[in-house]
Structure 1
Amino acid sequence: MPQSPQFELSEHDREFGEWFYQQIAKAFLFKRSEWVDSIAAQLQSDRAPDKRHEVIVIWLSDMTAFTAPGRYIYVTGRLMEYCPGEASLAFTIAHELAHHDLGHLRYFPRWFRGLAAHWITEIIFLVVHSVQHFFYSPERESAADRYALDLCIRAGWDPRDCLHLFDQLEDRLLDLGDIAGVYGPSESDDELLPNAPLMTKLRIWAWQRSRGYLPVRDRRRALEVYLDERDRGRASV
């Protein structure tokens, strides 16, 4: 189970988070949701009030969630609409909390705000998102998935219900024609062969880095294996 947050929020991170929040608020509509507030409180019930992150509902057409240094986590209204249940939304929020707790967000230098002072909000949003995408990796995302699942278990949700999120993600990507996002590149099965060529492995490695995530099917399967191992470990005690 995850312990207390491993990384304390620095003053720089706090200031960056407030600045980014103010920039985003200029261009996008925010809304408070009692449902989201309740889930966030349940996930963070063991944290002191000043250590908790605030979840903001942002009205974008994308079905996504994201975060940045500071105390805010952002969930789009479209994601809320399409989440198959409360456990799935809890897992989504917990995944963003995991990035904070695991120290995945410390990459914006102090001079960035000065550099971006005259940028329009949309450019700031795109740059912050692109920097995150560059630093995130399948390894970090997988670690955040596992940590999020543990947070949900500790908060009282059934972890198998959390995984229903991946059904929705899969349907969404297939609707968009993103078959590789669900199954991986066409040659990914070849990587499992003992004599797989080095170039095949390199191409798959590069594809995973370009996405930042494993394919949806692989993410879900990895968490199912994680839960199975966890259950076996508890049964052997």
Structure 2
Amino acid sequence: MPDALSDALTLTGRGIRLSRRNIDAVITSMLLPVMLMLIFVYFFGGAIDTGTEYVTYVVPGVLLLCAGFGSSTTAVSVSEDMKGGIIDRFRSLDIGGIPILAGHVTASAARNLVSTALVLGVAFAIGFRPSASAPAALAAAGVLLAFIVAISWLSAAAGLLAKSPEAAGGFTFFMMFLPYPSSAFVPIGTMPSWLHGFAEHQPVTPVIESLRGLLLDQPVGNTPWIALGWCAGLLVVGVGLSGVLFRARMR
């Protein structure tokens, strides 16, 4: 176990260094959520009635969009490793699959923290004013981090499943789409009735509602626990599927 942890930390550093070499992708993952937030607030916000300032309503959804887009780049990184042959070198050093993938996931989480800070900074500049207490803010950060880690592991599985980095990039579109049929940008009640069931019971919605309630000091009930339950389920699926797919690719 200590060796596996040491390997994972070393490979996390490698993942961060690789990000510095692929600076265009990093910049895109940071700026795209900011641009989408500005578009929604200034282009569409005046036409959408949420009962509050639209920037206040939309920021939690943009944080999820940022997390999803940033984490999805893990799929491309894992696929590039599988295609480039570096995995064979790692295996010759007796490094297991889980530490390799954990390095990618941890590096993804680190990139996401920077992206989230940028989104929040721009949100403050355009009028977002959270009223969360310190414990509520920490709880919101914990829910967001749990979501990032869970979908990063799913993204790693997608990278192992894809036959090429280009195909792995398709996971990005899925993660970009998922927040839209949720409460991220408009109240679910304004959507067509046939969409309500999916929008209310998909994993993104309780995470967004948890962040919104915690950051704005609103009642959240058991929603954060539901969100963490979804994150735990996604994490189990992501880690388990990644392990199975890695072993299958190494045969």
TM-score by length of 2: 0.33
Higher helix residue share:
2
Scaled by the length of structure 1, what TM-score is found? Answer: 0.35
Q: Which has the higher contact order (CA 8 A, sep 6+)?
A: 2
